[in-house]
Structure 1
Amino acid sequence: MFSIFNRKPHYHDLSWMSVDMHSHLLPGLDDGSRSIDESIVMISRLHKQGINQFYCTPHVQQEIYPNSNMQILSAYQALQHAAQLQHVQLDYAAQYAVDKALLQQVLTQTNSLLPLHENYVLIGMAYFSESVFIKQVINALVIKGFVPILANVERYVYYHYDSSPLKAFKDLGCLLQVGLLSCYGYYGSKEKQVVKHLLDAGMVDFLGTDVHYERHVKAIEHFVGKQDLSPYFANKIKNKTLVTARQRVDA
């Protein structure tokens, strides 16, 4: 296994990411940004790090964050109107919790899903408990013509010592996303080690910041100035496929 993050830095921004496809920048919808002002600060600071396009992907979970499409759209429009940041492109989607409600939505209300560009749908599970619906949801999404992206896979503790389920998900048509902060060891050495393993195995498809708070942005600024990840990700991830965002008619 190659030694990642141990070389001298050469690239001191994140422009090689092209797109941040996973963030919690829409205010007041989940455990992310609490206000429009906070969102604008985070976006501005990340833009200074070289990111020009952001997909705002609030949690959608029936029991905890029952965000409707209209609520997400309203928050997006308010942020878009207030921000007016030049050279920054904002779009919105959702990060769906893998549960029975999502399975029913995919099976019966497919058109109500909020995907990323084209047909990518971001999904996620609890970090300490695998959803019993994960394979059913992946299969249902694929059958309906979507490409599921499983978020923050390095943080699922039940896969830390056995990544074969993740390989099985990829075989079913699911893509995998890892979090930027995990690459720096922000969440622990094990998460960083899992990212290395998945990269070595060619299993990483997308990279996202998953920013929720200003402290996340501050940590990113700190790490980017010290460690260059571009040689290990730039030619492996599919973030660039999301650069040309769909123009939503309802936005």
Structure 2
Amino acid sequence: MIDIHTHLLPGVDDGSPSFDVSLAVLERFAEQGVSTLVCTPHLNAAQASQAPVVRHQELFAELQQRAPSGMTLQLGWEIMLDSPNVDLTAPELSLGHSRAVLVEFTRGGLPRGASAELRRIARAGRTPVLAHPERYFGCTLEAVREWRKLGVVIQTDASVLMGRGVPSELARDMLAEGLIDILASDNHGDSRSLASARDWLLERGGEEQAVLLTFANADSVLSDEDPLPVPPLRSGLMDRVKRIFGR
């Protein structure tokens, strides 16, 4: 598996507070089958030109040196689009050494011009990977369809698929429509993982979806290739019953 969205660079944001916590998560991920992981600390677009690149590279080098054998680490950011028209083309703002940039909006609601901003990033030669759209108040399936037509890659948080509430329902509806390109853990030094979503998909007969969502499409994006289409995976009768009765 490949996890392109984690907050395991220690002590830099609201994610992992220490190397010990990060390394424990990395060991668990390695046991579960994660071969490549991207550290994506938070960054506001308005502060992109003052991003602490050197400090993060130093921390990353130490984490990489202490990571489990056989696991590849890469460095990137999760960029909050808090200000429009910011130049995000600097190589150090990308996911690893790719053209992809992981971006997000606030949970409070999609800003006016959200689609235009994503289009602008794509036209600047970057591949916008939109983190957890299921979280954003006002997000709809129609909006997700529009963004994907603009060249936006849709990344959903793995744990949301198995949750309850509006974000989880939207995520499962997106899965049923084939609108999710990549799953990621968004781990903050906690128990979240890709493995739980992979197993959830396999239990529902989603072998092809599991491969595409937890490995192949992330590999493609990090290699500057287009993600492959993910076949729709619709919930069965028992899933709907469990959702209704909360069991």
Question: What's the counterpart of residue 209 of structure 1?
Answer: 185
Runs of 4+ in 1 over 3 A off after TM superposition: 62-67, 109-112, 241-246
1:156 corresponds to which residue? 136
Matched position secondary structure for 1:25: coil
Q: For 1:21-60, what aligned pairs fall within 5 Å after superposition?
A: 21-60=4-43
Q: Which secondary structure does the structure 1 equivalent of 2:87 belong to?
A: helix
Q: What's the TM-score once normalised by structure 1's chain length?
A: 0.76
Q: Deviations over 1:195-234 (max 9, x none)?
A: 22101211100110000032435xx77x569x53134332
Q: Kindly provide the amino acid, as one letter, of the partner of residue 190 in structure 2.
A: E
- Structure 1 contact 61–96 (Cα < 8 Å) conserved: yes
CA distance in 1, matches of 2:152, 2:197: 29
Counterparts of 2:149 and 2:143 in 1: how far apart (Å)? 10
Q: CA RMSD in A?
A: 2.7
> Whole-Å Cα distance in 1 between the matches of residues 126 and 197 of structure 2?
33
Choose from 89, 99, 103 the match for 2:82: 99
Q: 1:79 to 1:236 in 2, by over 3 A?
A: closer
TM-score (norm 2): 0.77
Compared CA separation, residues 123 and 104, structure 1 to 2 (3 A): same
> Against the structure 1 CA distance between its residues 84 and 22, is the aligned structure 2 distance closer, same or farther, given a 3 Å change threshold?
closer
How big is the shift at 1:140? 2.0
TM superposition shift of 1:53: 1.1
Distance 1:62 1:117, change over 3 A: closer
Measure how far apart 1:41 and its partner are. 0.4
SS at match of 1:214: coil
Structure 2 residue 168 is matched with structure 1 residue 196: no
Structure 1 residue 99 displacement after superposition: 2.2
Looking at structure 2, the residues matched to 238 and 33 of structure 1 have their Cα atoms a distance apart, in angstroms, of 22
Deviates further, 138-147 or 29-38: 138-147
Give the Cα–Cα distance (whole angstroms) in 1 for the partners of residues 67 and 101 of structure 2.
Answer: 27
Check whether the contact 1:93–1:114 (CA below 8 A) recurs between aligned residues.
yes
Instruction: Please state whether the residue corresponding to 1:115 is helix, strand or coil.
Output: coil
Counterparts of 1:170 and 1:214, CA distance in 2: 30
Residue 239 of structure 2 corresponds to none
State how many pairs are aligned.
Answer: 217
Query: d(CA) in 2 for partners of 1:168 and 1:73?
Result: 35
Aligned-partner SS, 1:86: coil
Determine which of 123, 145, 159 is the counterpart of 1:167: 145
2:60 match: 76
Deviation of 1:75 (Å): 1.8
Query: Following TM superposition, by how much is the alpha carbon of 1:235 offset from its aligned partner in structure 2, in angstroms?
Result: 4.8
Contact map agreement 1:99 1:131 (CA 8 A) in 2: no
Q: Extract unaligned runs of 5+ from structure 1.
A: 1-17, 247-251
Distance 1:131 1:80 in 2: 36
Match of 1:8 in 2: none
Q: SS in structure 2 opposite 1:157?
A: coil
Which consecutive residues of structure 2, in runs of 5 or more, have no partner in the other structure? 224-247
The match for 1:134 is: 114
Shift of 1:123: 0.4
How far, CA to CA, are the matches of 1:207 and 1:104 in structure 2?
26
Q: Distance in 2 between matches of 1:63 and 1:24?
A: 20
